[in-house]
Amino acid sequence: MTSPNPAALTTLLERNAAYAKTHTPILTNAEIKASGILAYKTLIITCTDGRIRPEKFLGIENPHEFLISRNSGARARPALANLLALDDLVGLETVLVIGHTDCGAHNFDEDAIKERLSERASKAPAPSDSRREIEALEFGKIEGSIEQSVQGDVNFLKESPLVRGELKGSIFGLVFDIHSGELVKVA
């Protein structure tokens, strides 16, 4: 069992205090709507990896232009609920699934993770019937190439009966190359 790391939290809070001194207030959703700004029409599904910053490599200056849903491996299945809720709220016009080279999700061992989780759950003070819940989990492992993964995720979204038909034609898959900085359309 690892010990808590309050120093990490302290460091982050110190950084935030410095940032807050120069923070410019962000428009509320009500202010955005009242202003007539055409906002939040593009959803970007991408990886949790901090190196992957779509606002930077897509040159996005307007924070109202896009929404980001992040998960391990930039996978569509865990992002589906977010996509559906956001589409219902704002009426999305475009969805970009952006994977990246050197993604750590290639290295996941889903069975080993599930085994460790089952062991942890069995040692809990009040063991629960968590086996079914653990078996249902998907951790975003990428099988094959990142291009195949992104293509499969785009196909998953386009084939979902839950995704609005009008949106399906505006779902695209791209791969960001961490070395060259290039973004390549794969789907």
DSSP state of 48: S
Average pLDDT of the segment spanning 50-74: 94
Strand partners, 99: 175
Three-state DSSP class for 109? coil
Distance CA 42, CA 35 (A): 19
**What is the CATH number that goes with domain 27-103+142-185?**
3.40.1050.10
Specify the pTM. Answer: 0.88
Mean confidence (pLDDT) of the chain: 93
pLDDT tens per residue, range 93-137: 999 999 999 999 999 999 999 999 988 888 887 666 788 888 888
The CA-based angle 161-167-170, given to 5 degrees, is 125
Calculate the CA 180 to chain-centre distance. Answer: 22
Structural domain spans, the chain: 27-103+142-185
